Amino acid sequence: MGAGKSTLGPEVARRLGRPFIDLDRDLEQDLGTTIPEFFEQRGEAAFRLQEEGHAIAALRLPDPAVIALGGGAVQTASIRNELRERAFTVRLEVDPATAWERSAGSGRPLARDESEFHALYERRGELYDEVADARADNLDDAVLAAAGVLVRFGAVEQLGSLVPGDGAVALVSDPHVGGIHGAAAQIALGQRLASVHEVPQGEAAKTAGVVERLWGELRLDRGGVVAALGGGSTTDVAGFVAATYLRGVDWVAVPTTLVGQVDAAIGGKTAIDLPQGKNLAGAFHWPARAVVDPATLETLAEEQRLEGMAEVVKTGLLAGEQFWELPLPQLVQRCAAYKAALCLRDPHDEGERAVLNLGHTFAHALEAAAGYDDVTHGRAVALGLLAALRLSGRQTDVVEHVLAPTPVRVDRNRAWSALQRDKKARGGELRLVLLGAEGPVVEARPEAEVRSALDELIAE
């Protein structure tokens, strides 16, 4: 009561693209009277009975929805069971004084006496803890919770309690990250740690050979969990192994690069590379949890930070907010929440998730023309963002200030034919993600315009 369910609920639903159900309001409509009146006339027990029927029916709806439960619904055991079985439950945190301030004078039957209200708050608190899968006190945190993402300083040290379930854990990392953060993760996993696995550093981890070796090394049963500690290369390969081992076991992403925390560990895409190209074999396999610890970024090299900032600027441009100006924990939280919501609305990349390709059509063309080793993804994305902004009729100073990309020296014709290949792969039409007045749009542009935007990114 007074936690903000009716305010935050519809906003969470909008961000996730799900309908919003306010159980108290629905109940009042059905009863044809207000809850205070019903309480007055029939008493709490009769009310709880009505509430039980409504809550369980809503929780059993076939399509996912965001549901605001009445504050006392958790007192009913069958509702608690249903929550455990069918819902991901977020406890909205509020301090008792604020909750009382919001509820007092609302006419709610259980908010008439301040000391009784506080006692009720205490009693219900334990039940809330029992059913809650996550806690949140703002919109981004609620969205992140729904996506299974936890952003918390020092989370690696608490990994043992943050890996869902009680199954055995296989920890995967590269030697560099393992050397820096591995020991803390292993200690935190304690008794649950079943095995430790190493993958090569960087893109070299994402091969069929590494996947096959990991399949052979794992000794997990279906209740086991793969935990991937590292950058996007490690989470991509370990996530793919988890998607396929025993036809799929749970996995937890523990991203340690900025790219990982704002991009690679969010959204459920896992992949390895084939000789024919990057990310050509993979699976959608949403991590049971992404444990994002911004403290791990303290050991990251400056070039690696800049790689991540390219995706941060991209995300900020898409969201229409200057995420790149925020201090680190908030920056990670806001970017991760933006991507998480988008991916929950379009989990299999069949629609609006395409906007995450802002700047990437150009970036991929430059990377292909340069050979992937000669231009980093971040630099190519920064350049691609310049082209996307120019074609959108926008200023480019943000990209210049934050990312300062220099043009790449590649063959113009090779870059152009790489971009044409991208077009063929997408059904023959070159559609670019651009920024309109209301946010991102996907549009076709005349070839000459696209070609000259690409040429501008290439050094003489």
Ligand X SMILES: NC(=O)c1ccc[n+]([C@@H]2O[C@H](COP(=O)([O-])OP(=O)(O)OC[C@H]3O[C@@H](n4cnc5c(N)ncnc54)[C@H](O)[C@@H]3O)[C@@H](O)[C@H]2O)c1
Cα 342 to its chain centre, rounded Å, is: 8
- Of 140 and 263, the one with the shorter C-beta distance to ligand X is 263
Closer to ligand X by Cβ: residue 298 or 460:
298
Q: Is 341 helix (H, G, I), strand (E, B) or coil?
A: helix
CA dist 82 and 321 (Å) reads 38
Task: Give the C-alpha separation, 323 to 257, whole Å.
Answer: 17
Q: How many CB atoms lie within 10 A of CB 407?
A: 15
Which residue's structure tokens are 């005349």? 446
Please report how close the Cβ of residue 434 comes to ligand X at its closest, in angstroms.
21
Nearer to ligand X, 229 or 249 (CB): 229
| Nearer residue to ligand X within complex by CB, 71 or 267 | 267
Nearer to ligand X, 1 or 199 (CB): 199
Instruction: Map tokens 């441009």 to a residue.
Output: 317
Query: Which residue number, 161 or 279, has a Cβ lying nearer to ligand X?
Result: 279
| Nearest one of 228, 374, 184, 402 to 305, comparing CA atoms | 402
Rounded alpha-carbon distances, angstroms, from residue 257 to 62, 222, 238, 331, 418: 38, 29, 15, 13, 28
* Angle, in degrees to the nearest 10, between helices 44-59 and 23-31: 120
3-state secondary structure of 261: helix
Q: What residues make contact with ligand X under the rule CB under 6 A?
A: 174, 176-177, 180, 201-203, 206, 230-234, 236, 256-257, 259-260, 263-264, 267, 269, 279, 296-297, 299-300, 304, 307
CA-to-CA separations, 373 to 366, 368, 376, 379, in angstroms, rounded = 11, 10, 7, 12
